[in-house]
Structure 1
């Protein structure tokens, strides 16, 4: 089943003083199936951050359509948009976005508190997630008392606890050392294997090589995509590296 449909997406910005127009997205079309793990790659300025903001319903396109489970994002009333995000989307950010004044437990609970869930329900959801992510023993601690990897696993738990249709991850390994990054990527793989749909924006070839499909954005358009098929991570890593070489050296768009 298709969970996310992006059709002919365009986004044009007008410069500060109303001068030139900048086309951040030109004509982006792709879809994501339920249970897929998709990575989006591209150089800085390629349009991938703009794309992520539109998929997160944080920005609106100039043209085209984005549908989540068949519902047009632009049709969601402004007063309902925050609740729509909480109910359907989970977010994992590069800089964790945790509140230092809240414990690890309360940071994870936050979207459920905002949704009006009862404590017993929140605790019931929390325990298996915290145990699977290896942070159960840290729940009483505060973000400033734990490592970067533990902060990011807390952020993943916060994203998962709402049972989202789609997890959007923005450079999730960007602030982590290599060991913590490897651990997080392995966690993402396990989460995906349980059926969670993940869409990740990343500069990291290693991170992208854990995905089932990699989309490359160049100059506001889909330049190429690679399906994992039966490739091991190492083989996919090489394919991604080769594609990035073509992309950065001015090769023509293909597939």
Structure 2
């Protein structure tokens, strides 16, 4: 069974005074299998951020359905949604979303604190993750005391500590320099190889070239998809760049 099923999802926004409508998503259908690493690409305004918000249950589709492990997200009550997200989804944001008044350790613990977990259990879960991400020595520091790359590793640790079904990453390399971006992408590859399913929205061809599959969104629909197969990162990069050129020039699927 697929981990994530997106079926005929549509999203229409009505302007403030109801004068006109904007269709952000027209008919999006795709699935994500367990242990996959999928990137979503598209030009600004193509609908990819809207799609990510719907997958994260931060927004609701106008039509269609989203299923996570067979569960229809539209059937989850509002008062249960926060707990559902904590238990099933991990989030990695472009701007890190760390609390400056919390240490890195406390930022990572936050989802478990909200879930009512005990400190001993939280510490036991944190240490192997921190070691894998190379941030063990930084845990007592505050976000303003570390680099952007270290902040993003902290955000990844926070996403992983709940053992989520799916990590949703929104432009995770967008605020990083090239070296920190490379480090993060290697990290994503590693945690995916260890079994974590990842879905990433990105403008970066380099970031997408690390994924196993790339979905291209155009005018609110899945325009094309590209599978890695046996391609190297360099070959994947070239194929993605070629597809984006076709996308921007109005080519056929």
1:145-186 deviations in whole A, cap 9, x for unaligned? 000000000000000000000000000000000000000000
Matched residues, number: 253
| Equivalences for residues 1-255 of structure 1 within 5 A | 1-252=1-252, 254=253
- Two-structure CA RMSD over aligned residues (Å): 0.4
Cα distance in 1, alignment partners of residues 15 and 239 from structure 2:
37
Cα distance in 2, alignment partners of residues 74 and 24 from structure 1:
19
Cα distance in 1, alignment partners of residues 231 and 82 from structure 2:
39
1:46-70 deviations in whole A, cap 9, x for unaligned? 0000000000000000000000000
Q: Secondary structure at the match of 1:172?
A: coil
Cα distance in 2, alignment partners of residues 143 and 129 from structure 1:
18
Any gaps of 5 or more consecutive residues in structure 2? Answer: none
1:21-77 deviations in whole A, cap 9, x for unaligned? 110000000000000000000000000000000000000000000000000011000
Cα distance in 1, alignment partners of residues 13 and 132 from structure 2:
42
Cα distance in 2, alignment partners of residues 27 and 59 from structure 1:
16
TM-superposed deviation, 1:20:
1.1
TM-superposed deviation, 1:250:
1.3
Q: Secondary structure at the match of 1:211?
A: coil
Q: Secondary structure at the match of 1:217?
A: strand
Taking structure 2 as the reference length, what is the TM-score of the superposition? 1.00
Cα distance in 1, alignment partners of residues 17 and 176 from structure 2:
38
Any gaps of 5 or more consecutive residues in structure 1? Answer: none
Cα distance in 2, alignment partners of residues 11 and 126 from structure 1:
38
